Amino acid sequence: MTRVTLIKGDGIGPEISESVVKIMKSAGADIEWDIQTAGLDVVEKEGTPLPDRVINSIKQNKVALKAPITTPIGKGFRSVNVQLRKALELYANIRPCKNIPTIKTKFDNVDIVVVRENTEDLYAGIEEKIDDNTAHSIKIITRDASIRIAKYAFDYAVKYDRKEVCVVTKANICKLSDGLFLECAREVAKEYPQVKFREILVDNCCMQLVQNPSQFDVLLLPNLYGDIVSDLTAGLIGGLGVAKSANIGKDCAIFEAVHGSAPDIQGQDKANPMALLLSGVEMLKYIGQSDAAKKIEKALFATLNSGVRTADIGGSAKCSEFTDEIVKNIEKV
């Protein structure tokens, strides 16, 4: 039995967490969930959106599955997601984007892994209001963090037999900050002669991605570009409802969907639980429960194949109907 922290989040978070827990249980995953609440509801009761008990639970269990938590726009508390990544030093955000069988998209040959630096850049949250008409935001890039993430990208490429790492920056404009990120990637690349190394500017990268995505393999990006480009790559394989991710550190890992809390569809039983489910499948593999992981994948693809799917990927099933169909297919596997 593995103890795993479960953060159910808010918005569509509770609906999709419930779905994933149900599916994992039916697949025989041997997990004891340590349920922790965080976010807006918690602020009112505990004075912070991220109480120490949540961090301590993840530190103790070393692994967590996290549903989305809303980040207030333009005001309010700092993103819980960003705080968690910082507090647990989850320096690598991995967002694999590969075509999913039966989900028809514009391109059939997408197989990209976004490796995003997860602890600094404009996400450091260092902002100041100069006067009513001026605000500054500081972009932090350090050598240590840039080398660490570049090594992660190249190690990943070696481990999973990927051919190329492409570093994505705007080093022609942000000469010092993105320039340092690029310089570190170049240095690390020299230690991995077996992996091809490529450099591209982020604007060109976006254009190329929507025209010819199969040219890309592993993308290495600083935090902000990584966030934006990975939504784009999610779009290439069917949208945010199907895009998985992992936040990896030296001691802990948090698995979560790429998407946010989708308040526009909250409480309507419309959300697609697939992104969290596929992140959960990666978590099962990470904790050594590959049998349950494989069962879920098989049942999920059988479900999609039979035409049962949620509205965001062209179906009409509710979240609960889609979940029940996957459970039914697990029982048949």
Which residues lie near ligand ATP (CB under 6 A)? 12, 71, 240-241, 259-262, 264-265, 271-272, 275, 312
Judged by CB, which is closer to ligand ATP: 80, or 283?
80
Cβ 261 to ligand ATP, closest distance in Å?
A: 5
Cβ 245 to ligand ATP, closest distance in Å?
A: 11
Cβ 35 to ligand ATP, closest distance in Å?
A: 20
273: number of Cβ within 10 Å: 27
Cβ 312 to ligand ATP, closest distance in Å?
A: 4
Cβ 111 to ligand ATP, closest distance in Å?
A: 22
CA distance 106 to 237: 8
Looking at residue 97, its amino acid is: C
List b or e across 84-116, with b for residues whose CB sees 16 or more CB atoms inside 10 angstroms.
bbbbbbbbbbbbbbebbeebebeeeebebbbbb
Judged by CB, which is closer to ligand ATP: 168, or 275?
275
Judged by CB, which is closer to ligand ATP: 110, or 265?
265
Cβ 11 to ligand ATP, closest distance in Å?
A: 7
Tokens of 173: 């404009």
- Strand pairing class (244-248; 92-98): antiparallel
Judged by CB, which is closer to ligand ATP: 294, or 318?
318
Cβ 271 to ligand ATP, closest distance in Å?
A: 4
Judged by CB, which is closer to ligand ATP: 146, or 303?
303
Judged by CB, which is closer to ligand ATP: 177, or 272?
272
**Which residues make Cβ contacts (< 8 Å) with residue 45, sequence separation at least 6?**
none
Cβ 151 to ligand ATP, closest distance in Å?
A: 27
Judged by CB, which is closer to ligand ATP: 166, or 300?
300
**Which residues make Cβ contacts (< 8 Å) with residue 53, sequence separation at least 6?**
36
Tokens of 333: 């596997």
Tokens of 87: 């507090």
Q: Give the phi and the psi of residue 194 in degrees, each rounded to 5.
A: -75, -15
Judged by CB, which is closer to ligand ATP: 243, or 284?
243
> What's the DSSP call for residue 317?
B
Nearest to 129 by CA among 71, 177, 79, 74: 74
Nearest to 296 by CA among 241, 267, 333: 333
- The answer to whether 273 and 323 have CB atoms below 8 angstroms apart is yes
Cβ 16 to ligand ATP, closest distance in Å?
A: 6
* Shortest-Cβ-distance residue relative to ligand ATP: 260
Judged by CB, which is closer to ligand ATP: 174, or 240?
240
Tokens of 254: 């948090």
Q: Number of C-alpha atoms within 13 angstroms, CB side, residue 8?
A: 13
